[in-house]
A = this chain, B = another copy of it.
Amino acid sequence: MSNELRVGVVGAGAMGADHIARITHRTSGAAVSAIIEPNPDRAAAAAESAPGTATFTRIEDAIDAGTVDAVLVATPGQFHFPVLEPALDARLPILCEKPLTQDSTSSWAVLEQEQKLDRPHIQVGFMRRFDPEYRALRDVIAAGDAGELLMLHCIHRNPSVPESYLQRMLITDSVVHEFDVVPWLAGSPIKTVEVKFPRRNTLAPERLREPILVLMELENGVLVDVEMNVSVQFGYQVAAEAVFESGIAHIGQPSGLQLWQGGRVSTAEHTSFVTRFADAYDAEVQRWVDAVRAGTLVDGPNAWDGYLVSRACEAGIAALEGGGIQSIDAPARPSFYA
């Protein structure tokens, strides 16, 4: 491939800055050509890390400037919708950080707009699909050597969360990853969602009632439990155990240098998703850039996947706040997304 892909990055907060550094220093065949960020300090700091990049406060202006071949949306989720609209209007390929939008209604509107184009233009940034261990697990499930998949035990632990993290975000910001990756692993959509409350962690911020145990039944009968736990202090940990008819597969075990000292042998645990999924983010962006340059535009979860996740989040919130087993009755997948 020749010509570098000129990427406009929308949002220069922590996530956006990370993507700007990635595209500038680790992605082959792409460069950041525009930074769209209303906060002038953030915009200036980001521009400094990618010399020669123009900054804009509105995506429309960046598009009009004619230097953007594709858009990476890295703002908080509630600001995705107003960015996706002009980008789709301009027929630009889009890598949109998760979630697609803040609810299923707005996600549906995005789907409707996208279907006016010749083919899907939006990839959603669920990076776990690009993690080598998740990919290996999916291969093992698909191979079926140990029989059918029966259960999935998922672990999702964060050392702590910022002040902006509210109770609902246990679902919309955290379990949202399992809502995407579990159906992708198991090859079957989510049918119901339920939430159980263990004893509360007193180290959690006062506003949070957590950890929680989320139970999901998939259409194919697979039962999934997710320990969602965001104040564990000791590290960042994402793991999954797949139970087959005649075997087990486990991912997420810490690895690397082992240290024998003071009566114990130990291995370092990750402390943040940034290091745990560094390779996954790199692969996600590289493959998206390759797909856009090759004209296939999307190589990963698309807007329809993003819509299904928004439906699951709504069921998850209902279960979190109202209790009971909440069903998800999604419409059929449009042929546009086949």
Contacts and interface: CB of A to CB of B under 8 A. Distances in A.
Contacts of A27: 28
A274 to B, nearest CB: 15
Copies of this chain, count: 4
A26 B286 contact: yes
Size bracket, chain A contacts: 35 or more
Contacts of A164: none
Contact of A234 (B248, B257, B279): B248
B201 A245 contact: yes
A37 to B, nearest CB: 21
Interface in A119-162: 132-133, 136-137, 140, 145-151, 153, 157
Given A1-B51, A211-B243, A248-B259, A26 B28 contact: yes
B51 A211 contact: no
Interface in A281-321: 286, 290
A267 interface: yes
Contacts of A61: none
B259 A256 contact: no
A335 interface: no
A207 to B, nearest CB: 17
Interface of A: 1-2, 4, 23-29, 51-52, 132-133, 136-137, 140, 145-151, 153, 157, 196-203, 211, 213, 215, 220-223, 225, 227, 229, 231-235, 237, 243, 245-251, 253-269, 271, 279, 286, 290
The 3 closest A-B pairs by CB, nearest first: A255-B255, A266-B266, A198-B223
